[in-house]
Homo-oligomer: A and B are copies of this chain.
């Protein structure tokens, strides 16, 4: 049974092929895992989950595929400062709303927030245009993160 991701499985499939890449069982499994993830997974997390449904997968292929998916915009890659990259299905393919991240520097917990997101995005868009013109950049992406200490971490101390 095909899983639906945001704009749908077919859309991901077409996007991958549109960039000259092939659709394989391993890649399908990686997209499956990402679409069912409720948190931000590391390459190793993804490896372990994919391994359950497609035991032949190698860690190398996980990295390779994530890199491709990031490049073509199906996946976003993040660094929350714990020494390993974390990945999430992009907005366009996941059906999730646009969000930014709030990171607890104590326990590493991450909140996806959408509060103020419209205002943020409006300002970002304006800023992007200004920067683009002034510095002659073609801006493709932005990153906003807040860092702090969550309630239980500040109590625990």
Contact = CB atoms under 8 A, between A and B. Distances in A.
Contacts of A123: 116, 119-120, 123
Interface stretch (A8-16, A17-25, A33-41, A130-138): A130-138
A40 to B, nearest CB: 16
A10 to B, nearest CB: 29
A144 interface: yes
Interface string A76-106: 0001010000000000000000000010110
The interface residues of chain A, by DSSP majority, are classed as: mixed
A55 B137 CA distance: 40
A111 interface: yes
B120 A146 contact: no
